[in-house]
Amino acid sequence: MVNGKFGKRLLRSGAAAAMFSIAMQAHAQDVTNVRMVLWPGPEGDAMQKVVDTYNKGQGTEDGINVEMVLLSRDDTFAKEATEIATGSSNVDIYFTATYNVGFFARGLQSIDDIGLDTSLYFPTAIDGLTIDGALYGLPLDVSNHFLYYRSDLMEELLGSEEQIAEFRDISEKVLGEARDPKAPEEWDTDDYLAAAAYFSRAENEDSPTRYGTVLQAKTSPFNITLWDDLLWGLGGSWTAEDGSANLHSPEAERSMEIFRTIYEERYTSPDSAQWEYGETNAALQAGSAAFALQWSAAYAELTDPERSPEVYDKIAVAPMPGDPHSTHVHTLAISLNKESQNKEAAKTWMAYLATPEAMDAYAKAGGIPSQPAVLKDNTDINPAFDAIAAHVQQYGYSIPIFPGTFEAMTALTEELSGGWVGVTDIDAALEQANSRLEALLER
């Protein structure tokens, strides 16, 4: 028995709290929580903004709350491999990419039924996420390569007879034939090598930069893609027309020779044997290299007055050197976990993400969506968007997509990186790489 005003107030408060709790539980039961993995960095930051907008707006109508799970950038895929291997339903949506969607396919469910308008996307993005005719990933960011170069140095070279003569002498020494310097937009792989020599003090003591270029030669699966661009730029590929491994081709050998020459003749820093994305940016920012093959994501940093005060207004981009110009393209994506307990809610969220409006918000938040129209609409935010859209469409290629694609990238960089920097013989490295690729293709 409760006596007095205090007791009544206590009863009323208790009743109100109970009612509120019941109401909240009912609301919670109405809302489905969708857990989605992404990695930290620009993609995770941009997606978080889109997720927040959805959760506060459309999500309330759909009865869906999206929760982002950010894993570390280094081992996101390793953690996901473990989850998939154990048949876990911890997360509803995995973070994937064109180079590993085949590897994860066993744990994924096709998203053909979410009503995706594939015409909005780059064809390479859709093709790279399609296995046996079924789509296994919703494309997010597109990644390609540019040739970043110092426009001031190139203008100076092309406008000076004295420097042109010097370039001819150096190119004759390096290539066995004298060449005139060209604008980077017209470079083939030999022009690239000759220019690397010309802008290196090891070959030209009057060079304005210490090194001509920067190799990203660390044993990393992503670094093989830069070498791939030379291979494709010479008309080669990982595979022959019949689908068999083709890394003992003359094109592959020439690509190896170019990297090896650049490294051994010191047209790149000797330390670049362990360099990757970050060090390449640092070399360009410090003015120690005249040009470099680098990911499109670097554009924002290299042209930012605060982060690149010495060179921000002198950096320009060109297609990757080659005839034909060729840039590796891969697409980051999200894929539906086959074991998810919330498939319908996850598909609803993915369908929302596929809309141009959602991708526009993603672009404005710092992502690089794989919808060309959205990129073109947002060139005021990132001037590189226009070039990305143009290069992906004109020069983009996809490495062969099969369950062992990422494993192949790792195997090739393991075998070839030693050849790039003189640790192993070029022919032996290519032979070994070819046999490993062959084994993976056959598997």
Q: Which of 31, 68, 69, 81 is the binder for another protein (CB under 8 A)?
A: 81
**Contact pick of 48, 118, 163, 219 for another protein (by CB under 8 A):** 219
Contact by Cβ (8 Å): 382, 297: no
Nearer Cβ to another protein (10/428): 428
Check binding of 129 to another protein (CB under 8 A): no
By CB under 8 A, the residues from 246 to 305 that bind another protein are: 269-275, 279, 282-283, 285-286, 288
**Which is closer to another protein, CB of 84 or CB of 230?**
84
The span of 231-239, 249-257, 317-325, 403-411 binding another protein (CB under 8 A) equals 403-411
Tokens representing residue 72 in the block: 């570390």
33-53: string of b/e by CB count within 10 Å (b at 16+)? Answer: ebbbbbbeeebbebbbebbeb
- Binding residue for another protein (CB under 8 A) from 160, 422, 427, 439? 422
- Whether the Cβ atoms of residue 438 and residue 244 lie closer than 8 Å to each other: yes
Own/partner pairs, 160-163, CB within 8 angstroms, 24+ separation: none
Per the structure block, which two tokens stand in for 225?
């893609």
> Of 287, 295, 227, which Cα lies nearest the Cα of 433?
227
Q: Which amino acid is at 175?
A: L
Is residue 272 within 8 A of residue 217, CB to CB? The reply is yes
Residues in the chain: 443
Q: Which is nearer to another protein, 166 or 228 (CB)?
A: 228
Buried/exposed code over 342-363 (b: 16+ C-beta within 10 A; e: otherwise)? bbebbbbbbbbbbeeebbbbbb
Is residue 217 within the footprint of another protein (CB under 8 A)? yes
Provide the minimum distance between the beta carbon of 283 and another protein in the complex, in angstroms, as a whole number. 5
By CB under 8 A, tell whether 427 contacts another protein: no
Environment class of residue 183 by beta-carbon count within 10 Å: exposed (0-12), middle (13-18) or buried (19+)?
middle
Q: Is 403 in the site for another protein (CB under 8 A)?
A: yes
Q: Binding to another protein by residue 424, rule CB under 8 A?
A: yes
Pairing assessment for the beta strands 315-318 and 145-150 based on DSSP bridges: antiparallel
Q: How far is the CB of 1 from another protein (least distance, A)?
A: 48
Binding of another protein by 218 (CB under 8 A): yes
Question: Residue 126 Cβ, how far from another protein at the closest point, in Å?
Answer: 23
Binding of residue 421 to another protein (CB under 8 A)? yes
Q: How big is the chain by its Cα radius of gyration, in Å?
A: 26
- Per CB under 8 A, the segment of 30-38, 224-232, 375-383, 400-408 that binds another protein is 400-408
Q: Which helix (H) or strand (E) is 134 found in, with range?
A: strand 134-135
Q: Residue 439 interacts with another protein (CB under 8 A)? A: no
Nearer to another protein, 392 or 421 (CB): 421
Binding site residues, another protein, CB under 8 A: 75, 77-78, 81-82, 84-85, 103-104, 106-107, 217-221, 269-275, 279, 282-283, 285-286, 288, 403, 406-407, 410, 413-415, 417-424, 429
